[in-house]
Amino acid sequence: MNKIIMGLIMSLIIGFHSFAEPVKADETPIQIASEAAVLMDSQSGAILYGKNEDAKMYPASLTKIATAIYAIEKGNLDEQVNISEYATKIDGTKVYLNQGEQVTLKKLILGMMVNSGNDAALAIAIHLDGSLESYSKHVNEFLKKEVGVKNTHFTNPHGLFNENHYTTAEDLGRILNYAMKNKEFREIFGTKKIDWQGESWSTTLLSHHRILKGEIPYEGVTGGKTGFVDESKQTLATTADNGKVKLSAILLKSESKRKIYDDTIQLFDFGFANFKTSIIKKGEEFKTANKKFRANQAVFVTEPIVQAERKVSPEGMLTIKGKNGKAIQKLQLDEVANKRSEVKKTSRKPEQNGILPMNPVIGGGVFLMAAGFWVLNRKQKKGRRYRSR
């Protein structure tokens, strides 16, 4: 019975599953020195600022954001990873792993994210997929299927330069936003320092992100990752939260560290000053003309702090608009069918009980004729009584 009732309820709803469609927000007076940049609402995915956000770029160590969330979702953080000789011989920044050393997967992810250890990244990839080639195949499938990247192809887990290892600022923002939904990732991404006990050395690893560790003060920063190779220049990923909106900033190919942090602060200042995150509740209804629409699930939307406008098209597309009527975000709603009371039809013949069913007009005429005969009959009888006297 419950299944039947639920089926009837669902039959009143017409349309497809609700989805959020990010739209680039208003043009701003921001002056960003980095070659590519994007500022996004971490929860809704709305793009609040973009500069060459869909241009093909080399991400350097921001690649490790993808490696981290892939490892967290695919692996067991408590399992021991056996370090291969191949991983120990990689170039660049390391946590100085030894061949044959046993390290937990979580510790390797921390070493990769906090100290940007390339040896830790490579050890993770080999542990998860057996080889670098297999890792590349599987991580790209993961990013397309689970995250929805559009123009990303990774050949390695660490970000050392390869012409076929590329992404975009927008895709990196998508990857970061996806990762930030995971509690383990959020904790690791926000880690400023860790005590590292290894076979080669014992030390305290410090984050390379200058805002995250407090060298450049900025209130509300919740996580960060740096990157650099000659071909990529400086790259930076940062998240922040002021209690009204959670923001993700990606900056690519900056000529200097100072400029890339200045760019990040400009983006956060702009985002916090102008936007907030709201929730459209499951079942919330919107009307336009003679139609009614509703959201079939709770969804985050980004709205301007002032001059916010929600407008629904006749097709059920809800557009969140800001200053000058420019779109910030779009959401497809489901149409709710009109409830109309209908007379139930039956194939059963009516019971006659010896009386033939009549058309109302004919029935009325028969009644009047019968009444006339009755009156006439009464007059005739009365006349006979008078004559008999």
Which of the residues 34, 51, 64, 253 is marked catalytic?
64
**Distance in angstroms (rounded) separating the CA atoms of residues 263 and 249:** 9
Q: Is 254 a catalytic residue?
A: no
Paired tokens of 219: 């209130």
Q: Is 61 a catalytic residue?
A: yes
Across the chain, where does the E strand assignment appear? 13-14, 19-22, 36-41, 47-51, 80-82, 102-104, 193-197, 202-206, 221-229, 233-241, 246-254, 275-280, 285-288, 291-294, 299-304, 309-312, 317-321, 327-332, 334-336
Question: What single DSSP character describes residue 323?
Answer: G
Task: Give yes or no for a contact between 72 and 106, defined as CB atoms under 8 angstroms apart.
Answer: no
**Residues facing residue 254 across a β-bridge:** 234
Paired tokens of 60: 């350097």
Q: Is 313 a catalytic residue?
A: no
Task: Give yes or no for a contact between 78 and 184, defined as CB atoms under 8 angstroms apart.
Answer: no
Which of the residues 34, 116, 207, 232 is marked catalytic?
116
Which of the residues 61, 232, 248, 254 is marked catalytic?
61
Would you name the residues annotated as active-site residues? 61, 64, 116
